[in-house]
Chains A and B, each alone.
Chain A
Amino acid sequence: MPPKFFFKPTFDTYRQMFSSTGNFGHYLWNSVVASVLSTIISLVLGTLGGFALARGNFKRESDLSFWVISTRMAPIPAVMLPLYLMFSKLGLIGTMTGLVFAYTTFNLPFALWIMMTFFRDIPPALEEAGMVDGCSKFEAFWRVTLPMAAPGLVATGILCLMFAWNDYSFASVFTGQSTQTVPVAASLLVSQEGVQWGQAMATGTIIILPMVIAGIFVRKYLVRGLSMGAVK
């Protein structure tokens, strides 16, 4: 059957998914909670740590930076396995805590590293000026440097959200019935008997849309974020 180029659009599938019989709203909520929580944790710790890394003078700095990069870039299956074994011992399989923790394994090193590159671009002289005027070291960071790094912080946050939101592998292993995220729900629609393409594609659209909008919003920082700060 040839494809039709003129067709009558319908929103029935979406209506069905969000109706009271479906669990879709619940999966959406799980996705939002897991990605937002891991983003907040990673941003807070990553900003403080990134600032310290950018300003501090460390011996063996290259070893430290190598460690951070390899944590972020480790193949997901190789990270998933030990986490799964540890989580089963701790009873964290199928819980939100486990999933947030799993997402933090890649978002924290990412935020730490990228925020470090943003802070390196801000001259330390500005903080020193603030400290001469009587700020404490933390106040100088909070009032002078952090506002200047704000655009970078927003971009980092959005990228962290995207990495967690788009994840399927971790969620497929670490979530259970009640903690399923949207990508897992999408995969179940095609792996069960009788593939439901309408719903699968509608679910796919719901996964893609917010990230496309957010991505366009941070496009200026995209190169930097996705090249781990090596290209500005």
Chain B
Amino acid sequence: MLTPSIVILAVISMVPFFYMIYASLMNYTVNPDQPTFYQLHNWVSILRDSTYWHSWERTAIFVIIGLAVELLVGTGIALAIYHIPKGRNLIVTLWMLPLFVAPIVTGLLGRFLLNTTYGMYAWFLQLVGIKTDILGTTSTAMPAIILMDVWEWTPLITIIVLAGLQSMPEEPLEAADVDGANYWAKLRYVILPLVSRTIVVALLIRSMDILRYVDTILITTEGGPADSTKTIGYYLVQVAFQFQDFGRAAAIGFTMLIVSIFLGRTFIRIFARGEQ
């Protein structure tokens, strides 16, 4: 029963993977029908390419700040919902609605609301004296992109952490109550250690996903202004489909895969521990 799915999975994952390694060793620009062997030129060229490194830097900022905000807000809201005695389900349902929104629509909405002529957010910002075009200014474009990601994905952290909270054993909490621990002590020494594995799982899933999608950037800033929102994923799309330098794009793609493979390995290790 396993054979057909494994064969098809091999075709859709292994073949493209090896094709990408092959492409990264070819000169795949001038005549895409007949790529010629290019040794390690693509590899050397990305290592020397300052935009490549700049894109990783923007990616790091996007990922680290985005994940930190999502983790703090998501866990905080999970704790708040956990302590609500009634109507928890309704609140969770409303809070998780952004998860179903296509990233492209999130981007469209962000662009619409921040539009300096019609946008409602832009209008509120103008009231408090901020008249800049948020998505068109280097210092504010990245924070705006991060906020769109936070809006869409914080609920994921919340529902994962909430599931962890709801499956906590009751005894340690009762024991802490008997010992007269206050809420902060309980949170610090009982609750957080009990849900730490769940929080790590949530973080790993989010970090793989945040590298996975480029839709929001594609529809809002297209990497600009002045490359300030050019993450590595967007740079790959640009090198491949705008500059048509497929060989170099393949080398970039390979380095992206390495990072997500590392995250996947960690996830599997934690997953296997939880299954036992």
Contact = CB atoms under 8 A, between A and B. Distances in A.
Interface stretch (A14-22, A72-80, A127-135): A72-80
A73 B208 contact: yes
Interface stretch (B43-51, B137-145, B173-181, B259-267): B259-267
By size class, the interface of chain B is 35 or more
A94 interface: no
Contacts of B1: 48-49, 51-52, 138, 141
A74 B20 CA distance: 13
Given A49-B1, A74-B212, A78-B254, A230 B105 contact: no
Interface stretch (B66-74, B79-87, B186-194, B198-206): B198-206
Nearest to B215: A168
A150 interface: no
A125 interface: no
A109 interface: yes
A162 B100 contact: yes
A44 B267 CA distance: 26
Contacts of A153: none
Contacts of A73: 208-209, 212, 260, 263-264, 267
B112 interface: yes
Contacts of A40: none
A83 interface: yes
Interface in A75-109: 75-86, 88, 101, 104-105, 108-109
B201 A231 contact: yes
B227 to A, nearest CB: 16
Nearest to A68: B9
Contacts of B271: 65, 228-230
Contact of B102 (A165, A228, A229): A165
Contacts of A65: 268, 271-272
Contacts, number: 228
B118 interface: yes
A162 B16 CA distance: 24
A62 B103 CA distance: 32
A197 B233 contact: no
Chain B CB count within 10 A is highest, among A48, A52, A169, for A169
A200 B220 CA distance: 13
Nearest to A46: B5
A197 B253 contact: no
A116 to B, nearest CB: 10
A143 interface: no
Contact of B264 (A45, A66, A183): A66
A75 B211 contact: yes
A71 B12 contact: yes
B253 A78 contact: yes
Given A81-B249, A231-B163, A190 B261 contact: no
Contact of B20 (A52, A78, A101): A78
24 contacts: A2-B123, A62-B268, A67-B9, A69-B267, A70-B260, A73-B264, A75-B256, A78-B260, A80-B237, A81-B246, A84-B240, A86-B15, A88-B32, A105-B16, A168-B104, A168-B215, A169-B213, A201-B109, A204-B108, A212-B97, A223-B159, A230-B201, A230-B270, A232-B163
Given A197-B118, A208-B105, 17 more contacts: A45-B5, A68-B9, A71-B12, A73-B209, A75-B211, A77-B233, A77-B236, A78-B233, A84-B241, A169-B215, A200-B112, A208-B100, A208-B102, A215-B97, A222-B96, A229-B271, A231-B202
